[in-house]
Amino acid sequence: MKTIKKNAKKNIDKCTVGIAGLGLMGGAIAIALKKAAGVRPPGPRLFAHDSNGGILTRACSRGIIDQGFNDPGEMLARCDLVFLCLNPSAAIRFAGRWIGCFKYGALITDIAGTKETVAAAAEQLLRARADLDFIPGHPLAGAEKGGFAYAEKVSFTGKNYILTPLSQNRPENLAFLKEFIHHLGFGRVTETTASDHDQKIAFTSQLCHVIAAALVDCEADRKITRYGGGSFEDLTRIAMLNTPMWTELFLENRFLLSRIEQFEKSLDKIKTLIKNGRPAELEERLAAVRKQRIAMTGE
Amino acid sequence: MKTIKKNAKKNIDKCTVGIAGLGLMGGAIAIALKKAAGVRPPGPRLFAHDSNGGILTRACSRGIIDQGFNDPGEMLARCDLVFLCLNPSAAIRFAGRWIGCFKYGALITDIAGTKETVAAAAEQLLRARADLDFIPGHPLAGAEKGGFAYAEKVSFTGKNYILTPLSQNRPENLAFLKEFIHHLGFGRVTETTASDHDQKIAFTSQLCHVIAAALVDCEADRKITRYGGGSFEDLTRIAMLNTPMWTELFLENRFLLSRIEQFEKSLDKIKTLIKNGRPAELEERLAAVRKQRIAMTGE
C-alpha cells in the first residue's frame, strides 16, 4: 500500500473534477465552475458522466464541461475530486459499483439531501479503499424543477452548504473541499454530524416539501390561482418537485415523521384558538410567531 | 331626494379620491395613483385621512397625496370615490360612523381580506343612504410587513383583484371601479359573491398564513436558517404578518376551519405513506401533486 502524503492539499487549478450525474445539481456545479474559471483562470479540468449521452454532448458543445464519459470507470480513473450528483440511493450504488476505478487518493463528495445513509455507506467504502476520502455534503440550493435543462436557474451565490465529515476524513481534504465550495460561490459552510443534519433538514426542507405537496393536494380547482396574491404560489412552488428524489428523501430521513407530528400539533393549537374564537390569545400567538420569524432571518 | 342620473359614469381625471387609512394598502394605492398620473396626467385629486397625523404630513410632503385630513367628515364630503383601507371591523365601524358625511352619490369600496361581513354591512349602509354605492373589493397584493413605511414595496402590476358586487350596485359604478383598478396597475379583475370569495381566499390566503405561522411556531432554534436553502424562508415569509389584521381575518372567515381540516387530512395521507414506507404510492401521489401545481399556474 502506498503512503498518503500528509498535508498534500489539492489545488483547484491543478485538479481534475468529475461529476457523476449531470442533472440539476451536477449541471449547476459545472456551470458555476466554468463561470469561476472565467473570472479566475484556468480553473480545474472538468469531466462528467451521465447515463444520458445526449446531455454530455450538449454540455460539451456549450463549453460547460471539458469532456463527457459514457463509461464512468474511464472518467473516475482520472479525477482528483468526484461529485456524486445522484439521488441518495443511486449515489451509494454508484460509488460501490465503481469503487475499484477511483484514482488513487481521490476525494469523493456527494450532494444528497439526507446524510445518515450516505455517511454510513461512505464509511464502508473507505474501509475497502483507505487511499480514498469521502466527505458527505449537501449544497442548500436548487430549483423547483429538476434536470440539466434547469441547471442554469440555480444560483449558489451566498447560499448555505452543509458538510458532515467522517472521523476518517483528512483535514487537508476537508480544507480543500471548503475552499472549493466557496470557489463555487457558496456562502456559509457549516460542519455537523449526519444525524444533526438530517434532524434540521427534516424541518427546513423535507417538512416544507411535505406541506407544499399536501396543500396542492387538497384543492382540485386549477383556476384557484385567480384568487392568489402570492402566498399560495410561494408556499407551493416547491411542490413541482423531482418526485423520485423526494420520495427517497421523505422515506430516508428518520426525523421527518416526528417533525410532521410537531407541525401538526402546532397547527392544531392555532386551529383550536380559531375554533373557540379566542382573539386575544390568537393575536398573542401570532405576535410571538412574527417576532420569532424576524429573529430567524433578520428580515 | 335628488334623482341619481343613469349612466353618469365617473371620470378618473375629474374625480376626487379619498383614502381612509394610509397604512400598507392605502399608501400603496396612493403611490400607484401618483405614478399613474405621472404617465397619464392629470389623474384624480387625492385626499387621505389617517388617525396618525404624522403619516399624512409625510405623505403630503413627498407628494403622495394632495391633502391630508385629520377630520374624516371634512374629507368625505369632497370625495367621489372612497377607499376604506382599514381592517375589516374598523372599515365597517368607520363607514357607519361617518355615513352622514359622504358626498352625494359617492362610490365607496374597501380592501378587506374577508368579504361576507363587509358585504352585509355595505348593504345596510346603502339602505340608510340610497344615493351612495358601495362595491366591496379585495386587491390580492401586499407585503410581509404592514404599515405606510412598507407601502412602496407593494406592487400591483398584473396582480389579481376580486370584486364582490351587491345586487344594488349601479352598473356604471362597477364599470368605473374596474377601470380604476386597472388604472392602478392590476391585471385580472374577477367578480364573484362574497361567500365564494371567502371560501377561495380561505384556501389561497388565510390557510397559507395559518400554515406559515404554525411552521415557525414549531421550531425554537433561531439559527435554523443556517440549514435553510429557501424553502423554509419562502413558506414562512408571510408569518411576519400584521397580527391584529390577521387575527380578524382568521376569526371572520367562516370557511377557514374546514379548509384547515381539509389540509390536515391531506397532510395525514402523505404522513401515512411515509410512516408505512410506501415508495410507489408516495411517488405516485407526489407526481399527481406536481402535475396539479404546474397546471394551476402554468409555471
ipTM, interface predicted TM-score of the complex: 0.91
Nearest to A290 among B214, B243, B296 (CB): B243
Q: How far is B272 from chain A (nearest CA, A)?
A: 9
Residue B3 is predicted with a pLDDT of 52
In a domain, B263, yes or no: yes
B contacts of A141 (beta carbons < 8 Å): 229-230
In a domain, B5, yes or no: no
**Do B139 and B111 lie in a common domain?**
yes
Identify the domain boundary among A176, A193, A210: A193
**Do B259 and B168 lie in a common domain?**
no
**Do A82 and A186 lie in a common domain?**
yes
A contacts of B224 (beta carbons < 8 Å): 200, 203-204, 296
Identify the domain boundary among A156, A171, A193: A193
Which grid cell sits at A176? 480543500
> What confidence tens digit (pLDDT) does each residue in A177-211 have?
999 999 999 999 999 999 999 999 999 999 999 99
Strands in B35-182 per DSSP E: 45-49, 67-69, 81-84, 107-110, 133-135, 137-139, 161-163
Which CATH number covers residue B90?
3.40.50.720
> What confidence tens digit (pLDDT) does each residue in A227-269 have?
988 899 999 999 998 899 999 999 999 999 999 999 999 999 9
pTM of the complete model: 0.91
Distance CA A20, CA A62 (A): 18
Residue holding cell 402554468? B298
Residue A21 is predicted with a pLDDT of 98
Residues B156-169, mean pLDDT to the nearest whole number: 97
In a domain, A43, yes or no: yes
A contacts of B140 (beta carbons < 8 Å): 227-230
In a domain, A246, yes or no: yes
In a domain, B6, yes or no: no
**What domain count does chain B have?**
2
Q: How far is A170 from chain B (nearest CA, A)?
A: 24
% of chain B residues with pLDDT over 70: 97
- Whether the CB of B193 is below 8 Å from some CB of chain A: the reply is no
In a domain, A231, yes or no: yes
Angle at A202 between CA A111 and CA A174, to 5 degrees: 35
Residue holding cell 458527505? A136
Nearest to A218 among B257, B266, B285 (CB): B266
Hey, are the CB atoms on B222 and A292 less than 8 Å from each other?
A: yes
User: Which residue of B205, B207, B243 to mutate against A (max A Cβ within 10 Å)?
Assistant: B243
B contacts of A224 (beta carbons < 8 Å): 200, 203-204, 296
pLDDT band at A298 (very low <50, low <70, confident <90, very high): low
C-beta of residue A271 within 8 angstroms of C-beta of residue A172? no
In the stretch 131-160 of chain A, residues with CB closer than 8 A to chain B read 139-142, 144, 159-160
Identify the domain boundary among A193, A227, A259: A193
In a domain, A7, yes or no: no
- Chain-wide mean pLDDT for chain B? 94
> What confidence tens digit (pLDDT) does each residue in A51-104 have?
999 999 999 999 999 999 999 999 999 999 999 999 999 999 999 999 999 999
Distance CA A47, CA A249 (A): 27
Residue A1 is predicted with a pLDDT of 46
Amino acid at B190: T
In the stretch 225-244 of chain A, residues with CB closer than 8 A to chain B read 225-241, 243-244
Residue A142 is predicted with a pLDDT of 86
Which CATH number covers residue A251?
1.10.3660.10
Residue A61 is predicted with a pLDDT of 97
- Whether the CB of A293 is below 8 Å from some CB of chain B: the reply is yes
Smallest CA-to-CA distance from B106 within B37, B47, B28 is with: B47
**Do A175 and A206 lie in a common domain?**
no
User: Measured between alpha carbons, how far apart are the two ends of chain B, in Å?
Assistant: 54
Contacts of A280 (CB under 8 A, 6+ apart): none
B contacts of A220 (beta carbons < 8 Å): 292
Hey, are the CB atoms on A266 and B217 less than 8 Å from each other?
A: yes
In a domain, A2, yes or no: no
A contacts of B287 (beta carbons < 8 Å): 243
> What confidence tens digit (pLDDT) does each residue in B130-148 have?
999 999 999 999 887 789 9
Hey, are the CB atoms on A140 and B295 less than 8 Å from each other?
A: no
Q: How far is B192 from chain A (nearest CA, A)?
A: 11
Smallest CA-to-CA distance from A263 within A216, A202, A217, A218 is with: A202
- Whether the CB of B204 is below 8 Å from some CB of chain A: the reply is yes
Hey, are the CB atoms on B141 and A230 less than 8 Å from each other?
A: yes
**A202: containing domain:** 197-297
User: By CA distance, what is A251's nearest residue in B?
Assistant: B274
Smallest CA-to-CA distance from B111 within B86, B144, B146, B80 is with: B86
DSSP A256-294: HHHHHHHHHHHHHHHHHHHHTT-HHHHHHHHHHHHHHHH
**Do B30 and B138 lie in a common domain?**
yes
pLDDT exceeds 90 at position A4? no
**Do A29 and A126 lie in a common domain?**
yes
Residue B297 is predicted with a pLDDT of 80
pLDDT band at B1 (very low <50, low <70, confident <90, very high): very low
DSSP B227-288: G-SSHHHHHHGGGS--HHHHHHHHHH-TTHHHHHHHHHHHHHHHHHHHHTT-HHHHHHHHHH
**Do A142 and A211 lie in a common domain?**
no
- Tell me how crowded residue A37 is: count the other CB atoms within 10 A of its CB: 16
Buried b / exposed e along B46-72 (16+ C-beta atoms within 10 A): bbbbbeeeebbebbeeeebbbbbbeeb
Nearest to B227 among A204, A218, A227 (CB): A204
Hey, are the CB atoms on A204 and B224 less than 8 Å from each other?
A: yes
| A171-175: long-range pairs with CB below 8 Å, 24+ | A172/A6, A172/A7, A172/A8, A172/A9, A172/A10, A173/A9, A173/A10, A173/A107, A173/A133, A173/A135, A174/A135, A175/A9
C-beta of residue B100 within 8 angstroms of C-beta of residue B76? no
pLDDT exceeds 70 at position B2? no
Residue A205 is predicted with a pLDDT of 95
- Tell me how crowded residue B100 is: count the other CB atoms within 10 A of its CB: 10
Nearest to B240 among A139, A267, A293 (CB): A293
Distance CA B90, CA B114 (A): 13
- Whether the CB of A283 is below 8 Å from some CB of chain B: the reply is yes
- Whether the CB of A276 is below 8 Å from some CB of chain B: the reply is no
Hey, are the CB atoms on A241 and B286 less than 8 Å from each other?
A: yes
Structure-derived torsion over alpha carbons of residues A195, A197, A201, A204, reported in degrees to the nearest 10? 130
Distance CA B252, CA B91 (A): 14
**Do A159 and A105 lie in a common domain?**
yes
Say which range, A171-185, B6-20, B178-192, B240-254, has the weakest mean pLDDT.
B6-20
**Do B94 and B203 lie in a common domain?**
no
pLDDT exceeds 90 at position A162? yes
Q: How far is A158 from chain B (nearest CA, A)?
A: 10
**Do B132 and B90 lie in a common domain?**
yes
**Do B65 and B203 lie in a common domain?**
no
Hey, are the CB atoms on B250 and A226 less than 8 Å from each other?
A: no
**Do A66 and A92 lie in a common domain?**
yes
